[in-house]
Structure 1
Amino acid sequence: MSDEEQPGYELVMPFVTVASKGGPHEDQAYTAGWEMGALDAYLQYGNVQNPWQQTIRTDNVPQADRIAMKNGWIAKFDDDGNGWSGMTLRLDESETPRDR
């Protein structure tokens, strides 16, 4: 990697209904919604390790925090720069399993 190259992230599957591809959906809103929908589904139905770490878009930090709380997790965020943040989730031990 040259000095000018920055580490980055890219989609594994392209979104084809976004405005940049001629579709009706605004790109940033579509990708933010996709990311937060996936996070919510994963925390509800996935086999999530405790603690769990993921990189998310910094713009989504406030929403990710609420999704984590909704699903019984406590979130900590670290701004990685360039629009990305590290997220660490830990189960909220103050809740009983029945509360989750």
Structure 2
Amino acid sequence: MAQVTWTIRALDDLDKITDYYAEISPAYAARLIKDIFNAEKQLERFPASGRIVPEANVPTFREIIVRGYRVIYAHVDYEQVDILGVRSSKIPLSDFPSESS
């Protein structure tokens, strides 16, 4: 099983998402966060299971979609996965590296 590590940036993203939905529906916020953490369990077992992030077009940058959110991670190898961020799938990524950068 791969070791999954959350970056500070990814944890900050989770805090913002939780704060936003907690105001509207605490129950939905709890379910959403639970589902995102279930994605972490998937990555522990199957680190290459997500698709390549289209904007980055770099094989090591992958994502899993959870309830309209992109859980973006670096698939370093089958022993290590780093979760880089959690972003709305409605907003294009502009701050992740691409093959040309």
Whether TM-score is above 0.5 comes out as: no
Bigger Rg, which one: 1
The TM-score, its normalising length taken from structure 2, stands at: 0.31
Higher relative contact order (CA 8 A, sep 6+): 2
Kindly indicate which of the two structures has a greater share of residues assigned to strand: 2
The TM-score, its normalising length taken from structure 1, stands at: 0.31
